[in-house]
Amino acid sequence: MLGAQKWKEGGVVARTRGITIRDVARKAGVSITAVSHALNGKGTLSEATREHIRTVADQMGYEADALARGLRRSTMGAVGLVLRSLDALGDYAPAGVDVFERFVGAAASQALARNLSLMLVPDLTRKPVPPLAFSLDGYIVTNPHVDDPVIALLEDRSIPYVAYGRPPGRPEFTHWVSEDDTASARQILGHLWAGGARDTVLVRGTDPNAWNLEHQEVYVSWCSERGVTPRLYELAEGAGVDGGVDLAGRIADDGVPDAVFCLTGRHAAGVQRGLMARGVRVPEDTMVVAGSDSEHARNSRPAISALELNPVESSAALLDVLQDLIAGRTPTSPRLTKARFRARASTRR
């Protein structure tokens, strides 16, 4: 391997340095400027030189060092992903929760398609700060909550960022992408209504993010439009299925409802199980719906109707907006993506 060398430095095995721009310049018989310009499509070079340099570089397998380039250009080709919901949960691998992990997967492959690297960065405000955190070109922040310190930090440093789920209490901020929660919530509530439900319970999480807040808002308006009394329960996201089972007891004690709309799949699975354990029949006595699909919802018996989020389209939109922001262009945002409601046995009457 040309130009490769290995060495030790203070006990740290340094990586093999690859081929440098200098190696290419020497081989191609030009200056390093020429190489830089040729490869970045800048400056004024004859097409012949350009082509020649490109060929040589290709042959040698030259890849520009991202660090050196970043140091100079202050743009890295890498963006960070902060999952605020998981930060809040304090658990980056909660059992049976696949929405976030699916989002990570989708975001990674969408980033790939744009030749961007995606870096998972844990809560930026906690010390010690991950070293690369402030060198990244921008951030995707999922489900920021009210007065989110991560967002405050990014703004303070003027690092571009986009939010998945609008940052609550920031009407002036537009760089967000979300599934159309309002439309989906109304679709679900309408579906339940059509199934005969007149007494529908909403179970939301405790995190003060747009997901929880907007759903609550829509639910309350929807109830008041129809003159029915809202029945709202809050259950910590971290409580999971077991929390749902417990909550089912409370709900039933308050009066068995016609339908329960849980914002998370785990809560829905737990509530359904808890209700059934008390002899409530699903869907005959009570219908159950989850606001976000998951294996829990799919594989409960009866299978729970749920909203299938759209991580692929959403992460694509987020990256588009973020790239515009990074490039100094004005992005078209906010953007709403379309989730898809999956009616299953739990609401089939």
Interface ranges with DNA (CB under 7 A):
9-10, 17, 20-22, 30-34, 36-37, 39-40, 42-46, 49, 62, 64-65, 68-69, 71-73
User: Per-residue x/- marks for its own copies, 42-81, CB under 8 A?
Assistant: ---------------------xxxxxxxxx-xxxxxx---
Among positions 85, 184, 300, 314, the unique one binding its own copies when judged by CB under 8 A: 300
The answer to the question of residue 41 lying near its own copies (CB under 8 A) is no
Footprint (CB under 8 A) of its own copies, residues 94-113: 94-96, 98, 100-102, 104-106, 108-109, 111-112
The 10 Å Cβ neighbour count of residue 326 is 20
Shorter beta-carbon distance to its own copies: residue 214 or 237 = 237
302 binds, among DNA, its own copies, none (CB under 5 to 8 A by kind): none
The answer to the question of residue 348 lying near its own copies (CB under 8 A) is no
The answer to the question of residue 152 lying near its own copies (CB under 8 A) is no
102 binds, among its own copies, DNA, none (CB under 5 to 8 A by kind): its own copies
Taking the alpha carbons of 153, 157, 162, 168 in that order, is the dihedral positive or negative? positive
Dump the DSSP string for 103-145.
HHHHHHHHHHHTT-EEEE---TTSSSPPGGGGGSSEEEEES-B
Among positions 44, 115, 229, 330, the unique one binding its own copies when judged by CB under 8 A: 115
Distance, in Å, from the CA atom of 235 to the CA atom of 243, rounded to the nearest integer, reads 7
Among positions 21, 24, 86, 316, the unique one binding its own copies when judged by CB under 8 A: 86
258 binds, among its own copies, DNA, none (CB under 5 to 8 A by kind): none
Contacts of 120 (CB under 8 A, 6+ apart): 80, 81, 83, 104
Which H/E stretch holds residue 335?
strand 335-337
The answer to the question of residue 39 lying near its own copies (CB under 8 A) is no
Which amino acid, residue 26?
R
Q: Tokens 């749920």 label which residue?
A: 306
Distance, in Å, from the CA atom of 289 to the CA atom of 305, rounded to the nearest integer, reads 5
